[in-house]
Amino acid sequence: MYTHAVFWPPCNRGDNTLNRDISANQLGGEKIARQYEYMARVRDFVTASGETKLCYVETYGCQQNEADSEHFRGMALEMGYGIADSPEKASLIIFNTCAVREHAEQRVFGNIGALLKYKRRDPSIIIALAGCMAGEPHVVQRIKKSFPYVSIVSDSRCLWRFPETLFNVLVNGKREFATEGADVIAEGLPVHKNRDIKGWLPIMYGCDNFCSYCIVPHVRGRERSRSPETVKEQFISMVNAGFKDITLLGQNVNSYGKNAREHFETDFPKLLRELDKVEGDHVIRFMTSHPKDAGLELFDAMRDCKHVAPHLHLPFQSGSERILKAMNRGYTPEKYLGLIRAVRERIPDIVLTGDVIVGFPGETEEDFEATLALVEKVRYDALFTFIYSPRKGTRAAEMPQNTPPEEINRRFDRLVALQNSISAEKHAAYEGRTVRVLVDGKAENKPEGWLSSRTPGGRLVVFPGEEGLIGSFTEVKITGHTTWSLVGEKA
Ligand code: SAH
Ligand code: SF4
Ligand code: F3S
């Protein structure tokens, strides 16, 4: 059970006070007030027996899903549930799922299968499949047919009306499929944040880019930006609650505000500058940046803002112009390298990370070598490397795949080996330097007494130290490194 909670907004009951600048497609007011009525009705059900019922939320995928799970937990608390940290004792089990690659989906199906024993033991428990997989029609069909004990399917666009969906299941005992979500922003839902050091702050939802391999726009709907006032209000409340490291979230933060011109006139660099004015000892991060929309204003703002971390996560996906075109990414390798030059001119010690896909349909040896060449030119601090996974409903899934899996695996290994050697060299260059880090917990896979921390650029530093340092900034002298982390001692 969580012991600390931060609620944001302070349980707005739909009185509109937090929604003054919210556009017509952004929900607040009456619609959310109705959901609070449903929450109260569910609470009557849940608390009737006098014993505390528990809700368990399992999160897969990206930080956007982590942020959505904070809403599930917030709604569950509002509906009278306690929060469980495992499914065994829960009366309501929510799987908040990811659809980005096949492997992630298979895991979810396997784990849902494992819930059957709980349902057999207690038929009154409710199992819900939520998140991105719930937005895929073939998944919904499979759940309908083969997983009759899953009572709720609710995709991420329907998150705001989960209380109503749950109420219907409790009252009618029937299964509910909430997958017809309009593209809205639901402001004013309860949120339950574990009071912590690092926190997420969604500034926008959905995606309009339709990269040809990607399922996200299909399951999360069109891009929509929260108002800058709402974002700032939440940001301030997180700073006041003690968060030291706040990540602004969106699939493409550089197009923040683009679709909302009739409601507010701002963009991402301006938003960064605005949030930077909030005083305190904290770091601002953001992800993800799309190279087609990132530009000099962003890099100028990063240089000028004292709280903004010197870290840029700029996925490139491929170093081949031909493949980038087939991916519908909207930039060339030259344009991408121009961005890297521009950001390094402004912030010489910037930490650079990226995402890359190996084995996109039609990728030749030459295309792959262009990817290796780009990695050598940029010299990322770290890379997130993925093997292409066909997603039903995307354009790339229709493209012929002529490269055998063994060859794709070989390419993947070559890329990882190259990046590991670059990361090791970059890490070696830290040795002897003293860096300021934010201590965020105990170190994993290390003896008792070792702490985990992050540099401003987001690199992991482990060092022996007092637990009392957790949650504060401190100076650490780097004395060694591995491929993934730096090792140090308190300076
Ligand atoms: N919106 C972000 C990231 C979304 S998904 C962006 O545009 O950068 C995170 C990463 O997963 C992507 O950057 C991509 O590298 C990878 N990815 C997405 N779809 C994939 C697929 N079908 N197969 C393999 N990797 C994929
Ligand atoms: Fe997917 Fe592209 Fe949107 Fe990122 S920008 S979520 S990769 S479609
Ligand atoms: Fe996965 Fe959905 Fe995020 S598909 S990566 S959880 S947006």
Closest ligand to 157 CA? Answer: 3
**79 Cβ neighbours under 8 A, 6+ residues apart:** 39, 42, 43, 46, 163, 166
Name the residue type at position 141: Q
Strands 473-481 and 283-287: unpaired
Q: Which of 205, 209, 215, 314 to mutate to test the pocket of ligand 2 (most atoms within 8 A of CB)?
A: 209
Which atom of ligand 3 lies closest to the CA of 96?
Answer: 6
Backbone dihedral region of 449: left (phi > 0), alpha (psi from -120 to 50 degrees) or beta? Answer: left
Which atom of ligand 2 lies closest to the CA of 220?
Answer: 6
Tens of pLDDT, residue by residue, the chain (491 residues): 223 344 544 444 443 333 333 444 566 678 888 999 999 999 999 999 899 999 999 999 999 999 999 999 999 999 999 999 999 999 999 999 999 999 989 999 999 999 999 999 999 999 999 999 999 999 999 999 999 999 999 999 999 999 999 999 999 899 999 997 777 888 888 888 876 899 999 999 999 999 999 999 999 999 999 989 889 988 998 998 889 999 999 999 999 998 887 778 899 999 999 999 999 999 999 999 999 999 999 999 999 999 999 999 999 999 999 999 999 999 999 999 999 999 999 999 999 999 999 999 999 999 999 999 999 999 999 999 999 999 999 999 999 999 999 999 999 999 999 999 999 999 999 999 999 999 999 999 888 999 999 999 999 999 999 999 999 999 999 999 987 899 999 99
Closest ligand to 105 CA? Answer: 3
- The distance of Cα 34 from the centroid of its chain, to the nearest Å, equals 28
Provide, for the chain, the percentages of residues in helix, strand and coil under a 3-state DSSP scheme, each rounded to the nearest 5.
Answer: 40, 20, 40
30 within 8 A of 14, measured Cβ to Cβ: yes
Closest ligand to 102 CA? Answer: 1
The length of the chain is: 491
Query: The tokens of 284 are what?
Result: 């601002």
Query: For residue 476, how far is its CA from the centre of ligand 3 (angstroms)?
Result: 35
192 within 8 A of 200, measured Cβ to Cβ: no
Backbone dihedral region of 376: left (phi > 0), alpha (psi from -120 to 50 degrees) or beta? Answer: alpha
Q: Which of 60, 62, 207 to mutate to test the pocket of ligand 3 (most atoms within 8 A of CB)?
A: 62
Q: Helix, strand or coil for residue 277?
A: coil
Which atom of ligand 1 lies closest to the CA of 389?
Answer: 23
Write out the H or E segment, with its range, that includes residue 384.
strand 382-387
Q: Count of alpha carbons within 13 Å of 250, Cβ hemisphere only?
A: 26
> Could you count the other beta carbons within 10 Å of the beta carbon of residue 479?
13
**372 Cβ neighbours under 8 A, 6+ residues apart:** 319, 414, 415, 418
**Separation of alpha carbons 59 and 344, rounded Å:** 35
What is the reported pTM?
0.94
Question: By alpha-carbon position, which residue is closest to atom 14 of ligand 1?
Answer: 355
189 within 8 A of 74, measured Cβ to Cβ: yes
Token pair 């940290």 is at which residue? 85
Q: Where are the alpha helices (DSSP H) in 224-315?
A: 228-240, 268-276, 296-304
For 439-478, the three-class secondary structure string (H helix, E strand, C coil) is: EEEECCCCCCCEEEEECCCCCEEEEECCHHHCCCEEEEEE
Find the distance separating the first CA and the last CA of the chain, reported in whole Å.
Answer: 36
Supply the pLDDT for residue 155.
94
Supply the pLDDT for residue 484.
82
Supply the pLDDT for residue 28.
67
The conformation of residue 81, written as its DSSP 8-state character, comes to P
Which atom of ligand 2 lies closest to the CA of 214?
Answer: 1
Q: Which of 288, 355, 391 to mutate to test the pocket of ligand 1 (most atoms within 8 A of CB)?
A: 355
153 within 8 A of 146, measured Cβ to Cβ: no
Question: By alpha-carbon position, which residue is closest to atom 2 of ligand 2?
Answer: 211
Query: The tokens of 332 are what?
Result: 């060339």
Query: The tokens of 423 are what?
Result: 């990361």
Query: For residue 104, how far is its CA from the centre of ligand 1 (angstroms)?
Result: 13
